[in-house]
A and B are shown apart, each in its own frame.
Chain A
């Protein structure tokens, strides 16, 4: 069969950033495969994953760029911020240094993405409560001060992983609905794909109405 009409109506581009070893690749794997990858090697440069989700009845394809946290790749991974609609900024709640570096990750994100990019802060490895090095309150305050969405999650148990990716998408979708995000802007990180040729799903009111209506 040919590719024909797309089975989703939007593509959102995400990046996952943060220090090495905080669990970026594991979060992606958990999200796309529903599995924990215990022995995940360091990412070299970049990895990639996709999944189709649904927000307000709209099918949305997430294209997720998982960047390498190692310092030596910083130059090349910076290029991936361009055109990201969502940025998941990850630290490891058991390693304070990864939290301390957030401000520099945030600076990069603000400098290299556009104002409408949704930034979501994830405190990963929350299954390791005993080794906690950063309190929930502290990180939560940091997020609030900087206007970020925030959860603590675990790529191992899957806690809050789904939520982080979906909340980000909802926020982006909202921005489209109320016109804060311009679909036609070159670097918006969002592409609109009409699900049937010659017929465009215009706006939110239409959402949820399936394509095969028989009128």
Chain B
């Protein structure tokens, strides 16, 4: 991460080449600040405009910019001469302005994109301008690890070199806005950042100065670069950690814990009601999930989990989603998850519904895109009293003749309550279901099952 103030003497500017885009010659400027390098491209006209402003407002002498030439400015030799002259020009200007760094110059060289100090200046302006809108609407703000890193660095050690500036940097507006947010989103990347050699995911940052109250969401990050994620333990309601290098739940919930094989009360995420750990490399639901004892919703989509474990201590869990994992068998689920209302196991390798037969609280079950081939394997769902939504598309079973009728028939009197594959049964379907059940009764020589009616008449 670049810092001009800390690398005054290791800062240089070159114009190594030029490039033509739609008939216009651009000069490719290479800025180096210590280890950090980036490029910016400008055409002559932009140099010219910059120069005029610098002359007018910042006392730069008028004659140092190579002059305009209207005719013959396409020849290679001319361009080469001009390239050298512009390079010298920028170098001169830098020496002259490096103490004051006027905004036009900062922006001309993209310091406001890559340099800690100037980037924060930019962010401060943005926060001041948008705070009212954000706080009165979504209360959501997205930042890059670069910005967060800059905040951490600045708070660790401010820049005395910049104190003489007309408007020295003040983080007030940023911290003020963050303290009023509901939700902070951080999106990283492992590639080079824009036109620089900065890699976002190699930048560490600290979350303590930001008081995040409700939701923290991160995507495409390396967890080890975040210091004090644990500081959010008491305040956070919703945590989304997606596309990271997390291999276990412990990597997230015990990110700051040294001895991970024991669970301490102080490590609990007391306020957390939603945890989304989709798109990581989780292979199991490990014991540490118990640290989020108040979870109502757990989302573990797109991992490599093969069984449902360690959830029995989450008494408040209502919604569980483990889409696109490696679940083949799930055994006796009612002994593992108890009172859940919504279960999404779409895109796994499940062949039977046997494991669900006592999930009596289940209202919604998504088993789409699994390996269920027989209607017979669905009969275990027929006694679930609260089931209202059932999805089975993408299983072989959904391609058999009269699939909907056969599945609906399993539910007997409740067939009309079941929304199958997002579609309520039509009246003709329900009529067919009644006929089928009546036929079955005759065939099996039994009187219709009166369990329900009986209970009605008990009084």
Contact = CB atoms under 8 A, between A and B. Distances in A.
Contacts of B394: none
Interface in A69-83: 73, 75-83
Interface in B213-243: none
B385 interface: yes
A61 to B, nearest CB: 9
Contact of B337 (A4, A7, A76, A78): A76
A76 B361 CA distance: 13
Given A2-B430, A45-B338, A52-B455, A82 B358 contact: no
Contact of B315 (A7, A53, A81): A81
A79 B455 contact: no
Given A2-B427, A3-B413, A48 B335 contact: no
A146 B360 CA distance: 31
A44 interface: yes
A173 to B, nearest CB: 15
Given A50-B455, A79-B314, A3 B337 contact: no
B416 A54 contact: no
B457 to A, nearest CB: 9
B22 interface: no
A79 B332 CA distance: 16
A97 to B, nearest CB: 25
A73 B455 CA distance: 29
Most A Cβ at <10 Å: residue of B316, B338, B417? B338
Interface of B is mostly: loop
A51 interface: yes
Interface of A is mostly: mixed
Contacts of B414: 3
Contacts of A44: 332, 335
For chain B, give the interface size range.
Answer: 20 to 34
B367 interface: no
A46 B358 contact: yes
Contacts of B360: 46, 48, 65
B385 A79 contact: no
A66 to B, nearest CB: 10
Interface in A91-133: 112
B175 to A, nearest CB: 35
Nearest to B425: A2
Interface string B384-428: 011000000000000000000000000001111100000001010
Contact of B456 (A7, A45, A65, A76): A7
Please give me the 10 A-B residue pairs with the lowest Cβ-Cβ distance, nearest first: A3-B416, A79-B338, A79-B339, A48-B360, A75-B312, A76-B312, A2-B416, A79-B315, A45-B335, A76-B338
Given A2-B416, A45-B334, 11 more contacts: A7-B456, A46-B360, A48-B385, A52-B455, A75-B315, A76-B336, A79-B316, A79-B317, A79-B340, A82-B339, A83-B339
Interface of B: 312-317, 332, 334-340, 358, 360-361, 385-386, 413-417, 425, 427, 430, 434, 455-456, 458-459
28 contacts: A2-B430, A3-B414, A3-B416, A32-B455, A45-B332, A45-B334, A45-B338, A46-B334, A48-B385, A50-B385, A50-B455, A51-B455, A52-B456, A63-B385, A65-B360, A76-B312, A76-B336, A76-B337, A77-B338, A78-B315, A79-B312, A79-B315, A79-B316, A79-B337, A79-B338, A79-B340, A82-B316, A82-B339
